Amino acid sequence: MNVINESGTLALSTRLQRLSEQLRKDGALVYKEFGIDFEPKWFPVIFTLHHKQTLSVVEIANEIGYTHPSTISLLKELEKQQMIQSKKDKTDERKRLIELAPKGMELIEKMKPVWEIISKVLGEISDNENHLLKAINEAEEKIASQSFLQRVLQLKSVNNQ
């Protein structure tokens, strides 16, 4: 075992990042294996637009839980790849509405059978003694009610009294 694994919860973020990077790397290879030119980092936007059709930039950022700048960066990449297209909102000229472009819709049709396989495999990986997905949901709920920073500051103020 390495020092990161031995450090327990102190390295939680590092271990989650490591797991995420491994899944992304393998995910890219899975898509390549099926002859699909797709970056796993595009998944949240593509999948969201597949289900919600047309959304503003802010709505997409809220749906995927990314910051506005990170979302815009992804949208620029996807627009460059001609996977998405934007149009101005008829009620608010400042607002851009994003939707899948024909190339993006075509891609989704190729990806649906792959998503079924990926879902089964990830189900097997996460269906373990500690129910990884359930644990992630619970941790996200706790952070939504009180952030990591808020909890640290609260403990800091208790210790300083």
Q: SS3 for 47-113, per residue?
A: HHHHHHCEEEHHHHHHHHCCCHHHHHHHHHHHHHCCCEEEEECCCCCCCEEEEECHHHHHHHHHHHH
Q: Where is mean pLDDT largest: 10-19, 66-75, 84-93?
A: 66-75
How far from the centroid of its chain's Cα atoms is residue 145's Cα?
A: 20
Q: Which two tokens stand for residue 64?
A: 């995927």
pLDDT value, residue 130: 78
Question: Across residues 24-52, what is the average pLDDT?
Answer: 94
Question: Across residues 37-52, what is the average pLDDT?
Answer: 93
pLDDT value, residue 132: 83
In angstroms, the CA 4 to CA 10 distance is 9
Q: Which two tokens stand for residue 80?
A: 């460059």
Residue 160: pLDDT over 80: no
Question: Across residues 39-43, what is the average pLDDT?
Answer: 92
Residue 73: pLDDT over 90: yes
pLDDT value, residue 151: 87
Question: Across residues 111-116, what is the average pLDDT?
Answer: 95
Q: Which two tokens stand for residue 158?
A: 């208790």
Residue 15: pLDDT over 90: no
